[in-house]
Amino acid sequence: QKEVEQNSGPLSVPEGAIASLNCTYSDRGSQSFFWYRQYSGKSPELIMFIYSNGDKEDGRFTAQLNKASQYVSLLIRDSQPSDSATYLCAARPDTGTASKLTFGTGTRLQVTL
């Protein structure tokens, strides 16, 4: 079992719709979670982070965390063709010191016209 799991997709949504991207993690020591967007051939770009249970909103993006269920999600409202990319979920244990991120394989999102 991978430590961070994502459905590879592609997830196809029409322009203007809500895209829902999901991620589960196995290490209960993971405390901080990050969503990165990666366009083909480019490096990951940080979208949001979350470390408290509940929702966190930033513009069109909402991250949701449920530590009891070991589940993280990212909602993209009013999806645009420019949102078409691979979305990477990453987990980080909160040890109080810097440490590595463990990534899922990513979910490819396609926003159709």
Partner 1 sequence: DTGVSQDPRHKITKRGQNVTFRCDPISEHNRLYWYRQTLGQGPEFLTYFQNEAQLEKSRLLSDRFSAERPKGSFSTLEIQRTEQGDSAMYLCASNKQGLPYEQYFGPGTRLTVT
Residues that bind partner 1 (CB under 8 A): 4, 8, 32, 34, 36, 42-46, 49, 51, 88, 90, 92, 97-106
How far apart CA 33 and CA 23 sit, in angstroms, is: 10
Closer Cβ to partner 1, 69 or 97, answer by number:
97
Closer Cβ to partner 1, 88 or 109, answer by number:
88
State the minimum distance, in angstroms, from the CB of residue 86 to partner 1: 9
8 Å CB contact between 4 and 22: no
State the minimum distance, in angstroms, from the CB of residue 109 to partner 1: 15
State the minimum distance, in angstroms, from the CB of residue 96 to partner 1: 10
- Residues near 13 by beta carbon (within 8 Å), at least 6 away in sequence: 19, 79, 109, 110, 111, 112
Q: Let me know how long the chain is.
A: 113
Closer Cβ to partner 1, 4 or 76, answer by number:
4
How far apart CA 42 and CA 104 sit, in angstroms, is: 17
* Pairing label, strands 107-112, 11-14: parallel
Closer Cβ to partner 1, 49 or 71, answer by number:
49
State the minimum distance, in angstroms, from the CB of residue 63 to partner 1: 12
